[in-house]
Amino acid sequence: MIKNIKAREILNSKGNFTVEVELETGQGIFRASCPSGASKGINEAVEIKASEAVKNVNEIIGPKLKRKNPLKQKEIDEMMLELDNTENKSKLGANAILPVSLAICRAGAAAKKLPLYQYINELSGGLTFAGFPRPCFNIINGGAHSGSELEIQEFMIVPNREFFSENLKIGSQVYQELKKSLIKIFGKRAINVGDEGGFVPPISLEREALDLLQNTIREYQNTEIGLDCAASQFYKNDHYQIDGTVFSKNGLMNFYQNLIEAYPLIFLEDPFGESDWESFQEITGKFGKKIIIFGDDLLVTNIERVKEAKKKGTCNGAIIKPNQIGTITGTLEVVRLARSFGWKIMVSHRSGETGDDFIADLAVGISADFIKSGAPARGERVAKYNRLLKIENELK
């Protein structure tokens, strides 16, 4: 039974306050915290001021959940949604509800004496437990995650070796090799890092960043490139501005086609604005058999938007961010639906992270195809990768 729940403010990786919840049961004390994004979809669950979220946990949510059974994850999540009673979690705040939901999940795993990833797999209701996600390392930061002139937000490398530990080693090696190259080309000022640990070199063209990555991964077989375009950030007045050029929707489509033909791309995430369903539909129809088109701001881990995206054929992959929807139950519902469509799944961190490594267990528990947690650097990023190493060792 839940004995006590209390929340406090803690700092995230960007120096902003967020919420940490501490939940006590007979099995011990379980903690969880809530991340925050820089580029947020307009349809995400609402994040309120951290101090208000803490107050809502301590004065509203906590008292209602005392003496509840932490094994009743769905029931407790639904109870919190009823307490909030808004469509977008704006009354209590997603940043109040989510850390409670995650702490409940950890407590439930302990009650059943299961590793967290295995318990999440049970909660998922039959998702095949099929192994490890491929890590996507954000090596060069652009867009809202940096102070650079690059519009594309994340330039990632995606190794594909048999074991996660091998993929992590490649990620680390490429990161260090790129660091040396940047110093040689631009000097030490080029190795400043962005919000997610990737480098922020003094370049302004997307192809320059892609060339740097391609040259660095050339000797590593089965290593591809992924891009989080976060196009809503450079979409204004029905046009897209990138590389100093204003593109129509068709113009940006041609821009992406040239990149797909020139570089070993495995996926594009949010290649168009979150309301530009027509362009998403076109690019998925055109290139969906060659690469993955992931929806992030398009879907915001929201089951109704996922249904709409399937109906319109606007993507073939879903980015999963628990804080976009607010509960572990809601997250797993979206994963099950996306899986039923045959979509690829990527579990994702946020730019304002904490040391909480829950998403590592989530990615393994739902057998996600990919996980992204930033560069193989900065403590809040590597916490997730190090947790995956531990899980892999447990499963060997």
Measured between alpha carbons, how far is 229 from 226 in angstroms, rounded to an integer? 9
Q: Tell whether residue 336 is among the known ligand binding residues.
A: no
Q: Tell whether residue 372 is among the known ligand binding residues.
A: yes
> Which SS3 state, helix, strand or coil, does residue 81 take?
helix
Q: 344 an active-site residue?
A: no
The region that residue 36 occupies, defined by phi over 0 for left and psi between -120 and 50 for alpha, beta otherwise, is beta
Q: Tell whether residue 33 is among the known ligand binding residues.
A: no
Q: Tell whether residue 153 is among the known ligand binding residues.
A: yes
DSSP string, 234-293: GEETTEEEETTEEE-HHHHHHHHHHHHHHS-EEEEES-S-TT-HHHHHHHHHHHTTTSEE
* Token couple for 74: 């769905």
Options 196, 206, 224, 380, the catalytic residue: 196
Q: Are 349 and 359 in contact (CB under 8 A)?
A: yes
Q: Tell whether residue 238 is among the known ligand binding residues.
A: no
Which of 355, 13, 375 lies closest to 176, judged by CA? 375
Task: Report angle CA 344, 346, 172 to the nearest 5 degrees.
Answer: 125
Strand partners, 352: 36
Q: Tell whether residue 275 is among the known ligand binding residues.
A: no
Options 40, 321, 344, 384, the catalytic residue: 321
Within 13 A of 109's CA, how many CA atoms are on the CB side?
Answer: 22
Q: Are 356 and 146 in contact (CB under 8 A)?
A: no
Based on its alpha-carbon atoms, the radius of gyration of the chain, rounded to whole angstroms, reads 20
Which of 307, 371, 326, 379 lies closest to 344, judged by CA? 371
Q: Tell whether residue 248 is among the known ligand binding residues.
A: no
Q: Tell whether residue 3 is among the known ligand binding residues.
A: no
DSSP string, 18-66: EEEEEEEETTEEEEEE--B-SS--TTSPPP--HHHHHHHIIIIIHHHHT
Q: Tell whether residue 353 is among the known ligand binding residues.
A: no
Q: Tell whether residue 239 is among the known ligand binding residues.
A: no
Which of 343, 344, 348, 379 lies closest to 362, judged by CA? 348
DSSP state of 358: H
Q: 312 an active-site residue?
A: no
Per the annotation, binding residues for (2R)-2-phosphoglycerate are 153, 321, 350-351, 372
Catalytic residues: 196, 321
Q: Pick out the residues of the known binding site.
A: 145, 153-154, 228, 269, 296, 321, 348-351, 372
Positions at the binding site for Mg(2+) = 228, 269, 296
List the binding residues for substrate.
145, 154, 269, 296, 348-351, 372
